[in-house]
Structure 1
Amino acid sequence: MKDSGTQGPADSELLKRISQRDETAMASLFDRYARIVYSVALRVLHDPAEAEDVMQEVLMQVWRGAPSFIVGRGSLGGWLTVVARNRAIDALRRRHPSDPVDEVMLPASVDLASEAERNTLMAKLRTIMHELPVEQQKSVEMAFFEGLTHSEIAEKTGNPLGTVKTRIRLALISLRKALQA
């Protein structure tokens, strides 16, 4: 049985196969969750290299601890985001032990119905994103998945700030219209 809105086997099946050291299952889990884990870590750390380290640590924790994850206690995605947040805060504290850590709020728990709805929505968003012009796609990805500001995107792409803002705004309008249809 597949998770609603996702491609490939259900999380429980992936965890079972990962427990048996199936590298293909781990690759599928990585493809499914690496971006969200990275995004959570980046929001806390504001450092892409450190966020990538946290992502790798979290996913290695899955590789090592798959047999101990109890599928019925909650969603794997929710657990991974909480672990990513906590690991990122730990990394931030190691970097600056005396600085206070800004609280990053994540949902306390996610029920299965809302998780399935979110997965369906994410699949639809991915499809819609692929239909956007390439420039809009790249701008949205840099803003929302890489955590870059509009100014940073303008600098990185060599485009004027107004162009970057317009591309993101048009992309968001297109996404909103497509989701409401």
Structure 2
Amino acid sequence: MVDDLIQRARSRDEAALRQLYERHRQPVLRLAYGILRDEGEAEDVMQDVMVQALTHLEQYDPRRGAFSTWLHTITVNRCRDKLRRRRLHERLFGWLRHGDVEEPTTPAPDVEHVDTDRRVAQALGALTDLQREALVLREVEELSLAELGEVLGVPLRTAQARVNSAAAALRRAWEATEPRGGSAARAANEGKGEHAP
């Protein structure tokens, strides 16, 4: 059981500490990257979070939620600190420029997937920090709305509103990344279909 594992880790049992670290490092790293969109910063956050959590296990109160929820809360707070320390717009534009690579003269078989990945990255980058936090926690980490509200420190209704807002913003951003002519061509095809005999 995790509770027993945490008890042993609180007693500074090295095997238990190592097991807790290995069990939770990837979810923490995934969440941090989902919010920050930077592998180096996400790795830094993961290390900070795991060191803080394992060093101060006495601060975890199981009556207030699962251990993973406590880690999610620490991770979100650390990511917010990171975002406050950098100029988000400058970071975002630099990131998008980096992703805007030249296409090879002979397209590779997976070029369509590369383009899709870039569009997803651009769409996520267009979200606000709060929207990205909510979306990653809800859709990637699969938290319930109650857990999401607990991690973000907001009422359940506010958590739901943030998820809805993030989903709508992501859809708009995704449509905005569509190659020129894509929407027009699709609309034309749909129009032809409507008038077909």
Report if the CA contact (8 A) 1:41-1:88 is conserved. Answer: yes
1:56-77 per-position Cα deviation (integer Å, ceiling 9, x unaligned): 1111111221122111221011
Residue 50 (1) aligns with residue 50 (2): no
Partner of 2:6: 15
For structure 1, the residue ranges without an aligned partner over 5 or more in a row are 1-9, 111-181
| Cα distance in structure 2, aligned partners of 1:20 and 1:101 | 41
| Cα distance in structure 2, aligned partners of 1:86 and 1:109 | 18
Taking only aligned residues, the RMSD between alpha carbons, in angstroms, comes to 2.1
Paired residues in the alignment total 101
Which deviates the most, 15-24 or 88-97?
88-97
CA 1:79/1:12 → structure 2, altered by over 3 Å: closer, same or farther? Answer: same
Q: Whose helix fraction is larger, Structure 1's or Structure 2's? A: 2
Greater gyration radius: 2
For structure 2, the residue ranges without an aligned partner over 5 or more in a row are 91-126, 138-142, 148-197
Partner of 1:102: 129
The 4+ residue runs of structure 1 with deviation greater than 3 A are 97-101, 106-110
| Cα distance in structure 1, aligned partners of 2:56 and 2:19 | 17
TM-fit CA distance, 1:37 = 0.3
Secondary structure of the residue aligned to 2:56 is helix
Report if the CA contact (8 A) 1:78-1:109 is conserved. Answer: no
1:18-71 per-position Cα deviation (integer Å, ceiling 9, x unaligned): 211112111111111111100110011111111011011111111221122111
Which deviates the most, 26-35 or 94-103?
94-103
TM-fit CA distance, 1:98 = 7.9
| Cα distance in structure 2, aligned partners of 1:109 and 1:65 | 25
Residue 86 (1) aligns with residue 113 (2): no
Report if the CA contact (8 A) 1:45-1:88 is conserved. Answer: yes
Partner of 1:34: 25
Q: TM-score, normalised by structure 1?
A: 0.50
Letter in 2 for 1:48: E
| Cα distance in structure 2, aligned partners of 1:17 and 1:98 | 44
